[in-house]
Amino acid sequence: MERLREKLHISEGIWRVLELVAYGLIALLSAYLIITYVGQRTVVDGESMYPILKHNDNIIVEKLSYRFGDIKRYDVIVFNYHDPVNPDKESYYIKRVIGLPGETIVIREGLIYLIDENGKEVFLNEDYGYYADALPMESYLAAVPIEIPEGQYFVLGDNRNRSYDSRQIGLIKEEDILGKAWLRFYPLNSFGFIDHQ
């Protein structure tokens, strides 16, 4: 580098300033690439994913998995919610994937069923649901069977009676999924990976 400086006839002081600027630009570019393509920090707002995630938990959303692999049932995802009342507002929700593309799902008397190709309801025996006051989960839109097209997902909050999810807002498009909730790093006494399976 010293030879290059001498060849360009740049004083040592100016060369040091140029080096600092170059290192700063590299750091900014690296941060941008990491946040855009690898992972980013987000803060949980609300209790819809209780008990695995609580209000004000700080988590890392990992973005690489879905570039190279499929979204799986029970993955905890963060997605961009497009509010029809306020379309300019950007909101991110965190929920658990329950229904996959190509499936048909229905909720009856607080229980989740997948409907097979013969029209038979098959009970989805998942144990992530938390039911405040021991009340059964409301069905809302899922009181009637919902066919999930390619590229879309049915999601629920783990705190079923305190969650605004696919039962109210409909299916989630794959293109709106930011990534997988990966690691809770704050509060420190709850540090750890987020349960997906």
Q: CA-based Rg of the chain, rounded to a whole angstrom? A: 23
- Distance in angstroms (rounded) separating the CA atoms of residues 189 and 54: 13
Beta strands in 13-169 (DSSP E): 39-43, 58-62, 76-82, 90-99, 104-108, 111-115, 121-123, 146-147, 152-156
78 is written with which tokens?
């963060």
Alpha helices by DSSP H, listed for 69-179, are 166-169
Annotated catalytic residue within 7, 11, 48, 54:
48
Annotated catalytic residue 95: yes
Q: Which of 95, 163, 166, 180 is catalytic?
A: 95
Catalytic residue status for 65? no
Residues with active-site annotation: 48, 95
